[in-house]
Every structure is written in structure tokens, then in C-alpha cells.
Amino acid sequence: MAQDEVLILAGTEELNAWCDAQGSSVRIAIDTEGDSLHCYFEKLCLIQLSVPDQDLIVDPLSGIDFKRFNQFVLERTAVFHGCDYDLRMLRRGASFAPGAVFDTYLAARLLGIKEVGLASLVKNFFGLDLPKSCKKQIGRAGL
């Protein structure tokens, strides 16, 4: 798989095989997307994951059993940006409770950084621009 390709997983066996193939990676970046309609509970609709050299999307609406994935994450540091919403969504949608968590938003605030948005942090620390046009593309892709 080319480095800029994103792997899409929509089944328990696929996700379990991916977890088993990761070896000793020590960190995993996690982001979620959810859906809610006013008074209804949010629903976990998408999980975005990143480990060194690979990005992937997991479709939680496909009925995946997250037991192996949850164990996989417990053995690593889970990296989030503004983890409160993500952790709430993962708890509700995947019975997820992480072990070690690193929140880039909280870290930036503790360091006294004024612009703590993810795009600002990526720009300041890595010199990369995150295009705003990418934010809604996954929803339009029909996953």
C-alpha cells in the first residue's frame, strides 16, 4: 500500500488482523466523527486511526466487534486532539476505555500556546497546512 493511501476497514476480522499485524508500535492517533440530531444521543459514525506509516478509517456502523481493538489500544498511548468528545463517542459506540492518553490540545494549553486548534499546531510545529476542504470529504464519500 502506498504511503498516502488510506485503508478502510469495515469488518471485525479485518480490524483484528490489522491490530495483530501492528507489532510493537507504541502510539496510535485516534479521531472520531459522530452524528446527532438535537435531543438524540450521538452515534459513532467513523473512527480515523494513524500509526507510523499508515492511516486508516474504521466503519463502526458495520457491526464491528471492538474487543481486540480495545485491547490493542490499551497496550499503547492513544493520541487525541481534544479527547473529551472522542472518548465519549468511543465509550458509547465501542465500549472503549483507553489506558494512556496524550491530548495535544491540553498539552498545547499547558505550554501556554495561544492557538491550540489542530490546524494551527500542525502548521506551527510541522510547517504543514491542513486544507479545510478535507474536513467534509469523508462524509460525502458515502462510507
Confidence at residue 133, expressed as pLDDT on a 0 to 100 scale? 59
Task: Flag whether 132 is in a domain.
Answer: no
Write out pLDDT tens, residues 57-84: 999 999 999 999 999 999 999 999 999 9
- Write out the residue range of the structural domain in which residue 102 sits: 6-126
Q: Are 52 and 78 in contact (CB under 8 A)?
A: no
Report the DSSP beta bridge partners of residue 56: 7, 49
Q: What is the CATH number of the domain that holds 63?
A: 3.30.420.10
Task: Flag whether 28 is in a domain.
Answer: yes
Task: Flag whether 137 is in a domain.
Answer: no
Q: Are 75 and 103 in contact (CB under 8 A)?
A: no
Task: Flag whether 73 is in a domain.
Answer: yes
Task: Flag whether 84 is in a domain.
Answer: yes
Task: Please say if the pLDDT value at position 2 is more than 70.
Answer: no
Task: Flag whether 135 is in a domain.
Answer: no
Q: Are 87 and 42 in contact (CB under 8 A)?
A: no
Task: Flag whether 140 is in a domain.
Answer: no
User: What is the spatial order of strands in the sheet that 43-51 belongs to?
Assistant: 6-9, 54-58, 43-51, 27-35, 77-80, 100-103
Per the structure, the count of domains in the chain is: 1
